[in-house]
Structure 1
Amino acid sequence: MPLYEHIFLARQDVTSQQVETMVDTYKDVIQQNGGTVEKTEMWGVKSLAYRIKKNRKAHFTMFNVNAPAQAVAEMERQMRINEDILRFMTIRVDELETEPSVMMQKRDRDERKDRERRERDGDAPAFGGSEGEEA
């Protein structure tokens, strides 16, 4: 079966739980049409380069899909109908990535830098006071 990477953007004002429900719905569509979703990555809310349907931010989600073309076409048809989906893109690939995507690696790297900075600064509290001090 063909392999695809599929990314969709959901409106910023839907909740994370609603995005997870969308993910489950589209996974079911793929599975009902004889395919599988190998990997799902939720990249979180990110700023858009330009406004799309009056939205400045969106929930980004990526699927690695192993499915026939008609399964992907049906998923895309249902995404076109859904008002909460701003954009989507499906790309056929030769092989699926097994490691985390670049977006997830960037998040891990940023979290690591924050952790190292806190350790270097001696775990200073974020609110500006010193530990043990009362207001």
Structure 2
Amino acid sequence: MTVKVVENQTELEEAYSVRKKVFIDEQNVPLEEEIDQFEDEATHFIMYHDGSPIGAGRFRFVDGYGKVERICVLKEVRKTGAGKAIMNGIENYARELEIHKLKLNAQTHAIPFYAGLGYEVVSEEFLDAGIPHKTMIKKI
């Protein structure tokens, strides 16, 4: 598996394709909520396996934190280390920028995954796109 910063339109479209399969097709998030006003300011990530896009995510700097967003991997590669790989790629990118505090809004079912990577819950439960979430942070 290879994780990289999106560098061109083709890679961006592949990242959007993975996000649409996971969030829109699987989780019924409306397109206008998934692809939002922050796309142009975000750094996008794409993950490949054998040349095929299998994961995606994005990163922004917001309120003193590196904000990790839209983390997803295709259903067929879940539980293979793909999610950890994309998170490691984004965290390494943050370290290169000397950003030492990360924040994300985790779907509640994914909290154990992020907790295993060192993130801690810092909020009550809230709904985003109709899905229960909690905010989590990590110092790197």
Q: TM-score, normalised by structure 2?
A: 0.28
Larger Rg: 1 or 2? 1
Q: TM-score, normalised by structure 1?
A: 0.29
- More RCO (CA 8 Å, sep 6+): 1
